[in-house]
């Protein structure tokens, strides 16, 4: 291997390292964005769970206050 081959290999290796570094930086950026999205989804799920609980309490409360009347036409004759 002569000096020119070594120089070319060193240059190629440096370029490869640079390309890999850029790829890794992009991957880190994607992972950070994904983490933000997961956090936002988690907050949305928590808010929706709270809202569902509120609605369940409202429905339960409303059902306790409501009396069911069966129309005469639907009553079974004994």
Q: Which residue has the tokens 């390292």?
A: 17
Q: Model's pTM, two decimal places?
A: 0.57
In a domain, 72, yes or no: no
pLDDT number for residue 33: 98
Rounded-to-integer distance, Cα 75 and Cα 57, Å: 31
pLDDT value, residue 69: 66
In a domain, 68, yes or no: no
Higher pLDDT, 43 or 77: 43
73 within a domain of the structure (yes/no): no
Max CA pair span of the chain: 109
Range of the domain at 54: 3-63
User: 51 lies in a domain?
Assistant: yes
Confirm whether 23 is domain-assigned. yes
Asked if the structure places residue 74 within a domain, the reply is no
* Domain total of the chain: 1
* Whether pLDDT at 72 is above 70: no
Cα 60–65–71 angle (5° rounding)? 110
pLDDT tens-digit readout, 1-50:
788 999 999 999 999 999 999 999 999 999 999 999 999 999 999 999 99
């Amino acid at each position: 291997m002569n000096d020119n081959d070594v120089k070319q290999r060193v240059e190629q290796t440096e370029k490869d390292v640079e390309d890999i570094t850029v790829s890794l930086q992009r991957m880190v950026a994607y992972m950070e964005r994904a983490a933000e999205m997961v956090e936002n989804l988690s907050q949305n799920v928590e808010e929706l769970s709270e809202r569902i609980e509120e609605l369940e309490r409202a429905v339960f409360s409303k059902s306790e206050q409501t009396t069911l009347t069966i129309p005469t036409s639907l009553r079974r004759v004994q």
